[in-house]
Amino acid sequence: MVGISAADNAKLSSLVGRHIEQGRLILLSILGSGAYGVVYLAYDCLLSTRSTPAYFAVKCLIREGVTPREKKFQDRELALHQTSSDHPNIVTVHRILEEDGMFFVVLDYCPDGDMFSLLTDRRYHGDETLIKSVFLQILDAVEYLHSKGIYHRDLKPENILCADDGRHVLLADFGLATNERRSSDVGCGSSFYISPECINPYFSSLVADGKYPTAQNDIWSLGVILINLVCSRNPWRVACPTDDTFRLYSKRNGLLGDILPISSELNDLLKRIFSLNPSHRISLKELRESVVKMRQFGMSEKDLAKANPIIKAAARAANESPAQPRKKNPSPTETFAKDLVPAYPQEYLSRAQAAAQQPVRPKRHLARFPSLDASSSSSTNDSSSTGPRTPPISGLDPIDTISDMDEEMADVRFTQEQSTSYFSTGEAARHMHAKQMQNGSGGGVRQHGFLTSAFRKIRGLPGAPKPAPAVIS
């Protein structure tokens, strides 16, 4: 799959002000877009009252005219998402509408956008209690998926949506999810988060019959997300020998404790998460137990004072304020007043303008999509699959090349200036990535989730539902 045509994209992007579901939902503004669809903020005229307006996110997909293969992908994504949609840390699919050759998927609206945005804003940095709470919520969602025989295969901050100022998180985007326990779909995922056995031809000897275990692939991705939360960066660009940092890690699994400001407890846990042999990798149950017991994720100030220059440079980079604060979308009432007045019947307009700014979370209405059978599982082995990729950005970069370091990490060889340079290439990496994408290259790891980046531009709107945070037990 290579994405929708320009004509279809223009059609999906021109729906602002449209009424769907017999006038119940009004599409207010675009929240984000991806290779295969567009996500809108929608106002629910039926559930909204004068004191409690109700908002939803509506994912719009082209249905008419797509190939049988593309329909198969759509059906799989929606079926797997709906099957797991009743968990409090998974974005709810309330219902699926089909109108004018399009699918309108009505989802929870998450006012704080995705975790990627909050990470770049340093929302979680240094807050050990919040890190534990949020990561346990992610673990609970993934454990629930696995209990239903569903494996996400694209776990990353962009696919984790946030509410309540980042304290409540919800897993989204099932474009790459599968119900296969073992898969031959190598190269399926996002480069920073993909496990080594999923990268062909590297580490193919670690899996039987050319198929990797999808559950263990998810666990690897969770380890990278945990490093994102604690250190505001990625450990490597891709888990294969061509990456200098990962090549050193594959020879000595204690490497991360020598280059990241993490506690010895976390370093020991990461060794079990990033076991090169997937059969030796920690289980979700053990991972959860270890996180609950974890006393400290980051390095203490006392230990940091005695750390090597590389760790100190990483800690300084994580402490830096973001270059630009996140931009907020206009409030729903501002959107009505400035853009949509001519498009709305007066009764809808007056109700929206009078709506208060603190609505309750709307009641869930889950319409089940047809269940999957074995024939609905699909392969990602498509040479034309070049979906959106996670860009390395300033403040969330992997460690830059450390090829000058020997396998024993002789830290005394590195001056403060040299070690600092390893963490100062974020903008250059972003520019290089943009050029790669513009030129149609980008590193060789394929993705084709329908809306891998669809929620990337979601920003908080006043008056949107904010679910209560999960309680750590």
As annotated, the binding site for ATP includes 59
268 assigned to active site: no
The total number of residues shown for the chain amounts to 473
| DSSP letters for 249-285 | HHH-TTTHHHHS-B-HHHHHHHHHHT-SSGGGSPPHH
Helix and strand numbers (H, E) in the chain are: 15, 10
| DSSP letters for 137-164 | HHHHHHHHHHHTT-B-S--SGGGEEEET
CB 231 within 8 A of CB 318: yes
Q: Is the dihedral of CA 365, 369, 373, 379 positive or negative?
A: negative
CB 70 within 8 A of CB 1: yes
Bridge-partner residues for 188, per DSSP?
Answer: 446
Helices within 173-308 (DSSP H only)? 214-231, 244-251, 256-259, 264-273, 284-293, 301-305
Angle between helical axes of 128-147 and 214-231 (0-180°, round to 10): 170
> Which entry of 121, 154, 397, 400 is annotated as an active-site residue?
154
- Which residues contact residue 275 at a Cβ distance below 8 angstroms, ignoring those fewer than 6 apart? 253, 281, 282
Measured CA to CA in angstroms, residue 302 lies from 230, 312, 382 at distances of 17, 12, 51
User: Locate tokens 């407890």: which residue?
Assistant: 265
CA pair distance 122, 126, nearest whole angstrom: 9
Instruction: Assign residue 426 a region (left: φ > 0; alpha: ψ between -120 and 50; beta: otherwise).
Output: alpha
User: What are the backbone dihedrals phi and psi of residue 333, each rounded to the nearest 5 degrees, phi first?
Assistant: -70, -35
CA pair distance 466, 362, nearest whole angstrom: 10
Cis before residue 370, ω within 30 degrees of 0? no
CA pair distance 315, 338, nearest whole angstrom: 44
List active site positions. Answer: 154
